[in-house]
Structure 1
Amino acid sequence: MATVRDTTYDLLRALGMTTVFGNPGSTEQPFLQDFPADFHYVHALQEASAVAMADGYAQATGRPAHVNLHTAPGTGNGMGNLVTAWHNRTPLVVTAGQQTRRMLLLEARLASPRAVELVRPYVKWGHEPVRAQDVPAALMRAYATAVQPPAGPVFLSLPLDDWHQPADPPPPVRTVATRVAPDPARLREFATILAAGTSPALVFGPAVDRSDGWPAAVALAERLGCPVWSAPAPERIGFPEDHPQFQGVLPYAIGPLAEKLRGHDVVLVVGAPVFRYYPYVPGEYLPPGTRLLHVTEDPDEAARAPVGDSLLGDVRLAAEALETQLRRLPPAQPTRPDQAAPSDQAAPPGQGLPPEQAAPPEQGFRSGRPEPPPEVGRPLSPDAFFAAIAAHWPPDGVLVQESPSNLPALRRRFRIRRPASYFTMASGGLGFGLPAAVGIALAERHTGRGRPVVAVIGDGSFHYSVQALWTAAQWRLPLVVLVPVNQQYAILKAFAEHKRTPGVPGLDLPGVDLTAIAVGYGCAAVVADTPDEIGAALAAGLAADRPTVVPVPISTDVPPLL
């Protein structure tokens, strides 16, 4: 007779979930014993790394990933990155071992008496099956819940004595919808408002990338011929940043963001919150006379928006449908008659902009002048650091970044030009980037795409999940980790200056030997001080058969928060 364990592994195979991320504990051993040869076990040295590796893997493969944690302590270790997975909208099936059912009433050691409560509210669904025989069906429900929009992590607490119990007949393997079409009447209403706008603007967010929506976003932008912004602090990029209509990233504070949108009568936000703010800078949410339209797949995100009218549905489907609707509607009177476009053609870049904002297509909507090259000194400035990376970037590279204080320099000097090429944390919590890069590099290997993966991890962030280097070394992943070293939590110093809170302790990080740490985990390591050395280390690391850590000393100047 088949056991619960047999039936569960068969279900995992049928769902394509044959890679398990975890750190084995005593309550998980009955599940992991005689681990099947057709499965991969990705061993992390700490559960926070396991969760983030699975997050990166799931995002890069476009499929849910399985994380196996160790009862309450292991789940607690993984909670920070579980919060990030929730905000990242990553479909994870998180299972945790539980003490044997015979001792749950006693609350014996390693029992988790409130296992499901522990992970709330950062899972879409949590459950501890009442019977051992319910485990496979609970897993099927967990999978279906995780992948349906908005996607996210789910949690199962599984007693260790369940696995060898006789199983019920296996649950049917079901497919579930992962896209929800928007309301046609609401679409027509939004299209009519956009067509009537004299100075529209578009804001694209990370859900565009998650939905494979870049072509739809570009088509909609070119149909409107208007400026395009990236939503504030995006965890993924929803629009090609070398497109002539691209303006940059909106600031993540109320007053400054509204100022950037001044002069636009209609703003359409697609696939992002309205808006993701960080420091409180008061002001109006929108400039006077500006109407905001919001397309999102998440009703909670729509409900908490402080302004705007919402349209619920898959963001790619909505963008495609809006472009189709706009093609059938007469455009608003353009600013200059010679800019009018036939209704069956995309409007040229610049249409609908006030004359002082319009720019010819070859110049784009920025200032019309490229950023001047940064000065190169020693140590390098953050701008010079990212300019060097950009100059040596592989065309199909994937960037994983967790260097908060240097993010403005990254966005000034580095452009994302293709989908699924930029990943970071939506939560604002550190410790995601390094293990996520390991998971993404593993996904590139397993999918056969083989895109090069480069992580830029600040020397403060580096230590939150540093043990992920060991996993990368064990799998011999050609991952390059560039570490801008300023020996401080510069983002916190910037926040302290912004909020006028001097004298905060613990913001400096002296006396850390990154090279020794990297070598100790089995990685190659080389310090780079110049742009040419960065380029050489990047090329060598991507051609290597193990991960390479590249510390790069940079200026200790604290950049402004906004």
Structure 2
Amino acid sequence: MSEVIRPVETVGEAILELLQLRGIDTVIGGAPTSMIEAIAKRQASGEPAPRAILTPHEQTAVAMAHGYYAATGRPQAVYLYSTVGTANGMGGIINAARSRVPMIILAARSPVSEKRGVAGARDIHVQWSQESFDQASMVREYVKWDYELRSGEQVAAVIERALEVATAEPQGPVYISIPRDVQAAAMEEIRTTSETRRVNGARLMPDPARLDEAADLLASAKHPVIVTSELGRSAAGREALGRLCDVGGFGVLEASPVYSNLDPKHPCHLGYIFASQVSPDLERADLIFVIESDVPWFTARVTVPDSARVIQLGIDPFYQRLPMRGFPCDVPLIGHAEAALEALIGRLESRIPASLLDERIAAHGARRKTQETTLDEAIRHDGGLAHITPLFANHCVSRLLDEDSIVVNEYPTDLRVVQPSGAGSYFGPSHAGGLGWGFGAALGVKAARPDKTVICTLGDGAYYYCVPASCHQIAAAEDLPVLVVVFNNGGWNEVRKSVVSTHPDGWAARAEQVPVTRFGVKAGFEKVAEAFGGYGAVVESPDELLPVLQAAMRVVKEEGRHALVNVVVHA
């Protein structure tokens, strides 16, 4: 490790240098004024600089950084413009916080100085009106750390601290506000080390005594079931779960999965739990092993036996940042899931009789075969209808997938049909539910993994929230050819289901149409894609759907243009 001395002209340039030195290769959203000046300097001199992706809206910027991290495991930097830009990005920040996605959020702040002759001093009207008494208070509940940069003397320490906190477990976004006159202040050089001395990467291991206790419960359980939502963030964790199932025949349910947590073809994969679904496995379980799942079941819908023991495993299995969470935990395993699962495998390898293992896997397989037969019959039935159903639309999307595909989903994907091929092949929405994440996240994934084919599946409501013009502009300007499939049912279907679920015998349930849930306009989403040089198509017939999707995919792969297919579905 050696000392690094870099000449700079401003604090803004020093920030750019430090980000680049610490592995931040992309700044999304734009850049503070003096960082733009530093980028221009590098372009003029031919020196390398982080990739700067200009986004017309901050919602898109935060979603892109989220997707970039999901695809690579490397945090990036986001630039938000002052208070109003921070407000625009808030939904994405909440998503990142609840999904434990690290990112460095740089936010402009009104200049401190009003004095003539001070570089970056206030010189336009908004710099008075946009200032708040405490700008970071807008995000403080959802970021791990916030700070206002006050002088060039501390810039290296602030960037190191930001990265240290963002990447320490549990990970999450951090926020740095920078007054314009501070970033424009003159600076001659930065001094730091070639490698950071704020190393926080370490594998956290649960208490061995608790591991023994968990192994005893798993070995003696008659009806064990595993529930997970976000284990698949780590490819090693996903693989370790598969090996644990191979040892014990434990059935696995994925609860509103954010990642692909287990190979869907694994014999122990029991399926998925979403808001409207109930699993008999949970209602008869005598042991539930929860792995990285904030909401492993829906207490208003599922009756878990009081006698069932519950093991909870994760970096923070208690989800302490959630104001309320009432799930039991008889055995806490606090640490990285992959390390804990490896330890449990070693403790269980000789404790599950081969006959019991075979019996469990055979039972899982028999039930799965029945479910697959029923699903195939339903797909064939829907394919013969005059209109497109969500199930048949999912079936057609599944026909596009190969080993190089990544699906980024915001609500309509049926994972029984659109099955992830491997680790990192599926990314779902944050459980915070900040709509408008999917399209931007897909662009972030494509920017990070240009070798992959990225398919983004959205509901029409999610598409509206994505700030579509912003996303289509970026797809065209940054050469990010993604395929966007919009499941367009013309309204808020989730709201409709929520109303009927809450008031099953009420007026809305009896009405021909649930009020305030239909958009009332036949939207030509495909025209928005065309306005930005993309390919657009609308489909209303089941017979036409697959050919149109295939044509759109050819445009993405062969012409390098983004495409949108507006699928009119009857839900």
| Normalised-by-shorter TM-score class | 0.7 to 0.9
SS at match of 1:116: helix
8 A Cα contact 1:401 1:424, kept in partner: yes
SS at match of 1:102: coil
Say if 2:309 is the partner of 1:306.
no
8 A Cα contact 1:204 1:239, kept in partner: no
Say if 2:23 is the partner of 1:16.
yes
| Cα separation, partners in 2 of 1:530 and 1:271, compared to 1, 3 Å | same
Specify the alignment match of 2:224 in structure 1: 200
Specify the alignment match of 1:216 in structure 2: 240
2:272 paired residue among 239, 249, 255? 249
Output the CA distance in 2 between the equivalents of 1:127 and 1:167.
23
1:503-542 equivalences in 2 (<5 Å): 504-505=515-516, 507-528=518-539, 529-542=544-557
Say if 2:208 is the partner of 1:190.
no
| Cα separation, partners in 2 of 1:46 and 1:367, compared to 1, 3 Å | closer
Output the CA distance in 2 between the equivalents of 1:463 and 1:205.
26
Shift of 1:512: 2.0
Output the CA distance in 2 between the equivalents of 1:34 and 1:522.
31
8 A Cα contact 1:514 1:551, kept in partner: yes
8 A Cα contact 1:211 1:315, kept in partner: no
Output the CA distance in 2 between the equivalents of 1:368 and 1:468.
37
Shift of 1:471: 0.1
Output the CA distance in 2 between the equivalents of 1:272 and 1:198.
23
Specify the alignment match of 2:459 in structure 1: 458
8 A Cα contact 1:182 1:318, kept in partner: yes
Say if 2:289 is the partner of 1:281.
no
Output the CA distance in 1 between the equivalents of 2:191 and 2:292.
38
Gaps of 5+ in 1: 341-346, 352-357, 558-562
Gaps of 5+ in 2: 1-6, 115-120, 509-513
Identity over the aligned pairs, expressed in percent?
A: 26
Output the CA distance in 2 between the equivalents of 1:492 and 1:361.
35
Specify the alignment match of 1:417 in structure 2: 421
Shift of 1:432: 0.1
Output the CA distance in 1 between the equivalents of 2:127 and 2:475.
37
Specify the alignment match of 2:339 in structure 1: 317
2:178 paired residue among 134, 149, 158? 158
Output the CA distance in 1 between the equivalents of 2:520 and 2:168.
42
| Cα separation, partners in 2 of 1:363 and 1:505, compared to 1, 3 Å | closer
RMSD (Å) for aligned C-alpha atoms: 2.6
Specify the alignment match of 1:475 in structure 2: 478
SS at match of 1:89: coil
Return the letter of the residue paired with 1:241: P
Residues 463-496 of structure 1, C-alpha deviations (whole Å, 9 max, x = no match): 2121211101112222101112222222212222
Specify the alignment match of 1:29 in structure 2: 33
1:423-462 equivalences in 2 (<5 Å): 423-426=427-430, 427-445=432-450, 450-462=451-463
Shift of 1:129: 2.9
Shift of 1:360: 6.8
Specify the alignment match of 2:104 in structure 1: 93
Output the CA distance in 2 between the equivalents of 1:148 and 1:416.
29
Specify the alignment match of 1:354 in structure 2: none
2:95 paired residue among 61, 84, 88? 84
8 A Cα contact 2:292 2:317, kept in partner: no
| Cα separation, partners in 2 of 1:207 and 1:270, compared to 1, 3 Å | same
Return the letter of the residue paired with 2:55: A
Return the letter of the residue paired with 2:179: P
| Cα separation, partners in 2 of 1:185 and 1:515, compared to 1, 3 Å | same
| Cα separation, partners in 2 of 1:12 and 1:263, compared to 1, 3 Å | same
Specify the alignment match of 1:355 in structure 2: none
Deviates more, 1:287-296 or 1:526-535: 526-535
Return the letter of the residue paired with 2:556: G
Specify the alignment match of 2:118 in structure 1: none
| Cα separation, partners in 2 of 1:252 and 1:516, compared to 1, 3 Å | closer
SS at match of 2:271: strand
Specify the alignment match of 1:560 in structure 2: none
SS at match of 2:270: strand
Shift of 1:6: 3.6
Shift of 1:274: 4.1
| Cα separation, partners in 2 of 1:176 and 1:472, compared to 1, 3 Å | same
1:498 paired residue among 498, 501, 505? 501
Shift of 1:413: 1.9
| Cα separation, partners in 2 of 1:488 and 1:417, compared to 1, 3 Å | same
Specify the alignment match of 1:240 in structure 2: 263
8 A Cα contact 1:387 1:414, kept in partner: yes
| Cα separation, partners in 2 of 1:23 and 1:368, compared to 1, 3 Å | closer
8 A Cα contact 2:286 2:308, kept in partner: yes
SS at match of 1:101: coil
| Cα separation, partners in 2 of 1:527 and 1:289, compared to 1, 3 Å | same
Specify the alignment match of 1:271 in structure 2: 292
| Cα separation, partners in 2 of 1:483 and 1:435, compared to 1, 3 Å | same
1:121 paired residue among 141, 151, 154? 141
- State TM-score, norm by structure 2: 0.85
8 A Cα contact 1:247 1:365, kept in partner: no
| Cα separation, partners in 2 of 1:360 and 1:551, compared to 1, 3 Å | closer
SS at match of 2:71: helix
Specify the alignment match of 1:401 in structure 2: 409
Output the CA distance in 1 between the equivalents of 2:533 and 2:83.
30
Shift of 1:269: 1.1
Output the CA distance in 2 between the equivalents of 1:438 and 1:367.
35
1:74 paired residue among 85, 108, 112? 85
8 A Cα contact 2:227 2:296, kept in partner: no
Q: How many residues align?
A: 521
| Cα separation, partners in 2 of 1:424 and 1:282, compared to 1, 3 Å | closer
